[in-house]
Amino acid sequence: MKKVLISRVLPEAVYPLLEGLDVTRRDQTSPLSKDEMRAALGAFDGVLCTLGDQYSADVFADVAQPRCKILANFGVGYNHIDVAAAKAAGIVVTNTPGAVTDATADIAMTLMLMSARRAGEGERLVRAGKWEGWHPTQMLGLHLTGKTVGIVGMGRIGQAIARRCHFGFDMNVRYYGRSPKDLDFEAAFHSDLNALAACVDVLVTAVPGSTETRHMINAQVLGAMQPHARLINIARGDVVEEAALIDALQRGVIGGAGLDVYEFEPALPEALRALDNLVLLPHMGTSTEEVRVDMGGMAVENIQAFFRGNPLPNAV
């Protein structure tokens, strides 16, 4: 019987799907330490890991002959795993695309609305007992309907966001990517990110985390944006250069921002938390019971297929 480590607490509905495997549950919410990762590579046939479990090249290098043959990532993003080093060590890596698309797109819309309509500020005002009642110029924000949205990365999630904007809010959609897409809605392609940033009311990141996308949103891009425009990041934290964003928000270079991910998460500098024109969420993109169960099911399906010698549903 194959031994499998579950690196983090999962929804209870996922565990029955592991039938036929010798499962060790690590019932903690914190990421694996490097020592735990090294030990897991030597002691288990497979590991169901997730964001924060930093399987870097040096971790693989420290285990000469790993017993582990599959890292089944719980999540679509896998930039915390050095895939090339894993493959060199004879380890397959899988992920869970598709399951996260709609939930992540919903969080993007949540952040867009919260930032544009200053919902975070409004709630803080009410909770602090400082609200003095309605008046005509109270907390004026940005009306989203009919505005222009720029999507950075038009993959599954980018398209789901764009559809919500186009069909739900009658927004004009523009996007940046490697090449134009064949879409079922009207959208204008931009090959220049700065040019896209300059002509939109909301700029949304929807690219995977990688060395190529790190600090893609930097001081130059933020400087190209309009003074009322909002930046929304639901991709990976280091897609946005955090120091540059703090500076842009402090100086009023852009109107506001909404973040679900952070460059050094879970650590947030005080300067970031102090900004009133910034909405902060605790990496909630896929935080629904249904979606997390679906993600777990996909991760387990990858493991079961691997050990049965079947084609992998989601190899990376």
For 184-196, write each residue's pLDDT tens digit. Answer: 999 999 999 999 9
- The single residue of 25, 117, 228, 265 carrying the catalytic annotation is 265
pLDDT of residue 27: 93
Tell me the pLDDT band of 47, cut-offs 50, 70 and 90.
very high
User: With b meaning 16 or more CB within 10 Å and e meaning fewer, what string describes 95-125?
Assistant: bbbebbbbbbbbbbbbbbbbbbbbbbbeeee
Structural domain contains residue 255:
yes
Is there a domain that residue 136 lies in?
yes
What's the length of the chain? 316
- Choose the catalytic residue: 230, 236, 241, 292: 236
Secondary structure (DSSP) of 170-212: --EEEEESSS----SS--EEES-HHHHHHT-SEEEE----STT
Does the pTM surpass 0.75? The reply is yes
Catalytic status, residue 143: no
Q: What is the pLDDT of residues 219-265, one digit of tens each?
A: 999 999 999 999 999 999 999 999 999 999 999 999 999 999 999 99
Tell me which residue range forms the domain holding 42.
3-99+289-308
**φ and ψ at residue 81, rounded to 5 degrees:** -115, 130
Same domain, 258 and 149: yes
Give the C-alpha distances (Å, rounded to integers) separating 157 from 97, 102, 105, 209, 210.
Answer: 10, 7, 6, 13, 16
DSSP structural state of residue 312: P
Give the angle subtended at the CA of 264 by the CAs of 279 and 199, to the nearest 5°.
50
Domain assignment present for 315? no
Secondary structure element (H or E) that encloses residue 231, with its range: strand 230-233
Is 211 in the same domain as 223? yes
C-alpha distance from residue 260 to each of 7, 45, 48 (Å): 23, 34, 24
286 falls in which pLDDT band (50, 70, 90)? very high
* 59 in a structural domain: yes
Whether 108 and 247 map to the same domain: the answer is yes
pLDDT digits (tens, 9 = 90+) for 123-178: 999 999 999 999 999 999 999 999 999 999 999 999 999 999 999 999 999 999 99
Identify whether residues 56 and 138 lie together within a single domain.
no
In three-state secondary structure terms, 74 is strand
Determine what percent of the chain is predicted with pLDDT higher than 70. 100
Whether 241 is catalytic: no
* Structure-token pair, residue 277: 């024109």
Task: Give domain status of residue 90, yes or no.
Answer: yes
Q: Is 18 contained in some domain?
A: yes
Q: What is the CATH number of the domain that holds 89?
A: 3.40.50.720
Strand 202-205 relative to strand 278-280: parallel, antiparallel, unpaired?
unpaired
Structural domain total, the chain:
2
Question: How many other β-carbons are positioned within 10 Å of the β-carbon of residue 153?
Answer: 22
Is 265 known to be catalytic? yes
